Amino acid sequence: MRVLAIETSFDETAVAVVERAENGLVRVVAEVVASSEEMHARTGGAVPEVAAREQLTSIIPVIKEVSRQARLRLDAGREPTSEEEEVERLKEVVGAVAVTQGPGLIGSLLVGVETAKVLALAWDKPLFPVNHLKGHLFANWIEGKVGKASGLQEAPALPAVGLVVSGGHTDLVIIDKEGEIGWLGGTRDDAAGECFDKCGRLLGLPYPGGPEIARLAGTYKKSVGDDLNRFGVELPRPLMGGEGYDLSFSGLKVAVHRVLQEKGKSESVIAATAYELQEAVVDVLVQKTVKAMDEFKPKSVLLAGGVAANWRLGERMRQEVEKSGDGVKLFVPEKKYCTDNAAMIGGAALIQGEVVAAAEVKADPSLSLRE
C-alpha cells in the first residue's frame, strides 16, 4: 500500500508519498518540505499565528508538487489537464492518507488534519492519525540513500531503546518486541533542542540555535586541540547519574547566562560555551540512554528528532553502543528525516497505523508518548 502523509505540526509544511519496501523499510516515492524557518529566524522563534498562516498558504502548492513528483515517478497515466486534476491524480496512486494529529501548535496542526480529513473523505480512503513523536521514531525505518545504493540497510530489530530529542520534546522510550512503546522518562522542563535554541539566543546566534551551536562546537574543538577547557567554561550536567530517567535542561540557560556575565561575550568565550553546552547536553542524554540499555538489553538504539542530527550525540552514542559489545545496533535517520518531515508520518502509519473514521479525527496539541 502507498500512503499520502501530511505533517504540519510546527513550522514545516511537509507532504510525502511512501510505500513499504520488501525488506520492511519505508520507501519514499515523493516528498516536499516547505519551511517557514527563515521567517521565524527574523523573530528569533516561531510565532504560532505566523506559523499557521504559512501552513495555510503552503499546503495546497506542496500537495500539488508531491502529486506531480509521484505521478512522474510512478508514470501514472496521461498528463493532467489542470492543477486541480493534478491533485485528483494522487487518488490513483495512494491507498490511504496519514496525518500528524499532535503534539504541536494547534493552528498548524489543524491545517494538516483538516486537509487530510477532506482528502480521505472525498477520495473514500482510510485515514491514519499519527503521533508526531512516534513518527520521529519510525524515521529510523526510512530507506536511506546509502542503504538504497548498497542494499545493506535493514529495519531496526526490536526490542529497541528510542531517544526522541527535538525542539519540543525529549523522551526516552522502550519499544518492545511487539512494537508497543513504553515511556521511560523525559524532560521535566525544556527539551534538549529548546535548550540549544534558548542558549543560542543568549550566545547571540541565529535561530535555531542547535545547528549553530553544533557548528561552533566543531570548529572550537578543531582550533584548540587538546586544550578544550582553555577558557575555563564549565556547565552542570543536570540529573546525570541520578535515579530514573528524568531529564532537565532549563538550568543550563541560567548557567550559560552566568558564564557570559562572568567572562564576557568574546568570540572565544562564545565558542567555548557552545562546545561545553553541547558536551553537557550530550553527556546527560548518553548516560540515560546507556542506563536504559543496561536495564532493557535492546537489540537496537534509535535516535530521533532534530537533535539526533547532532554530530557529537551520534559520535558518543556510537562509542557507547560499540563498547556494550552485545551486537546492539545504533540507528540515526538521515539528517532530513531527523527534523520534521512527512515521510516519517507515513512510515509510522504503514508500520503501526490504526485507521480512525475521518469525522472523528481531531488535532490534539497535547499528545505525548507518556501513557
Quick check: bond before 126 cis, omega within 30? no
Residue 144 has what DSSP assignment? P
Shortest distance in whole angstroms from residue 190 CB to ligand KG4? 10
Which residues sit at the interface with Zn ion, rule CB under 5 A? Answer: 166, 340
Shortest distance in whole angstroms from residue 304 CB to Zn ion? 9
Of the two residues 241 and 311, which places its CB atom closer to ligand KG4 in the complex? 311
Candidates 131, 173, 136, 148; CA nearest to 28 is 148
* Element holding 67 (H helix, E strand): helix 48-74
Shortest distance in whole angstroms from residue 166 CB to Zn ion? 4
Of the two residues 188 and 297, which places its CB atom closer to ligand KG4 in the complex? 188
Strand partners, 7: 14
- Burial grade of 300 (CB within 10 A; 0-12, 13-18, 19 or more): buried
Of the two residues 20 and 221, which places its CB atom closer to ligand KG4 in the complex? 221
User: Which of 10, 220, 331, 337 is the binder for ligand KG4 (CB under 6 A)?
Assistant: 10
The CA distance from 368 to 197, in Å, is 21
Of the two residues 115 and 166, which places its CB atom closer to Zn ion in the complex? 166
User: Which of 112, 167, 185, 333 is the binder for ligand KG4 (CB under 6 A)?
Assistant: 167
Q: Which residues of 255-274 are buried (b: 16+ CB within 10 A; e: fewer)?
A: bbeebbeebeeeeebbbbbb
Piece in contact with ligand KG4 (CB under 6 A), picked from 18-26, 62-70, 160-168, 255-263:
160-168
End-to-end CA distance of the chain: 30
Q: Does 171 bind ligand KG4 (CB under 6 A)?
A: no
Using an 8 Å Cβ cutoff, are 314 and 145 in contact? no
Of the two residues 197 and 340, which places its CB atom closer to Zn ion in the complex? 340
What does each C-alpha distance from 308 to 97, 216, 239 come to in angstroms? 27, 17, 20
Task: Considering only residues 192 through 231, tell me which ones interact with ligand KG4, judged by CB under 6 A.
Answer: 193, 196-197, 208-211, 214
The cell numbers describing 214, all together, are: 553544533
Task: Considering only residues 298 through 327, tell me which ones interact with ligand KG4, judged by CB under 6 A.
Answer: 305-307, 309-310
Number of residues binding to ligand KG4, judged by CB under 6 A: 19
3-state DSSP assignment of residue 234:
coil
Binding residues vs ligand KG4 (CB under 6 A): 10, 166-168, 193, 196-197, 208-211, 214, 305-307, 309-310, 339-340
